[in-house]
Homo-oligomer: A and B are copies of this chain.
Amino acid sequence: MKIAILGGDGFVGWPTCLHLSNAGHEIHIVDNLSRRWIDTELGVQSLTPMDSIQERARIWRQATGRTLHFHLLDVAKEHERLKAFLLEHRPDAVIHFAEQRAAPYSMKTDRHKVYTVDNNVRATHNLLAALVETGIDAHLVHLGTMGVYGYSSVGAPIPEGYLDVEIDTPAGKRPQQILYPTRPGSVYHMTKSLDQILFQFYAQNDALRITDLHQGIVWGTHTDQTRRHDQLVNRFDYDGDYGTVLNRFLIQAAIGYPLTVHGTGGQTRAFIHIQDSVRCIELALSDAPERGERVRIFNQMTETHRVRDLAQLVARLTGAEVAFLPNPRKEAEENDLIVRNDQFLALGLDPIRLEDGLLAEVVDVAKRFAHRIDRSRVPAVSAWTKEIAAKVDRDPERRSLRPAS
Contacts and interface: CB of A to CB of B under 8 A. Distances in A.
Contacts of A135: 386
Interface in A139-190: 154-156, 163, 165-171, 174, 176, 178-179, 181-187, 190
Nearest to A83: B110
A201 interface: yes
A194 interface: yes
Contacts of A133: 109-110
Contact of A168 (B118, B156, B168, B181): B156
A389 to B, nearest CB: 12
A181 B167 CA distance: 11
Interface stretch (A119-127, A231-239, A248-256, A360-368): A119-127
Interface in A324-346: 330
Instruction: Specify which of A109, A133, A168, A197 lies most central, judged by the most chain B CB atoms within 10 Å of its CB.
Output: A197
A198 interface: yes
How many monomers of this chain does the complex have? 2
B110 A117 contact: no
Interface string A79-116: 10001000000000000000000000000011101100
A312 interface: no
Contacts of A155: 169-171, 174
A283 interface: no
Contacts of A126: 114
B118 A130 contact: no
A179 B196 CA distance: 15
Contacts of A184: 197, 201
Interface of A: 79, 83, 109-111, 113-114, 117-118, 121-122, 125-126, 129-130, 132-133, 135, 154-156, 163, 165-171, 174, 176, 178-179, 181-187, 190, 193-194, 197-198, 200-201, 204-206, 330, 384-386
The 6 closest A-B pairs by CB, nearest first: A110-B133, A178-B181, A110-B129, A155-B169, A156-B169, A165-B165
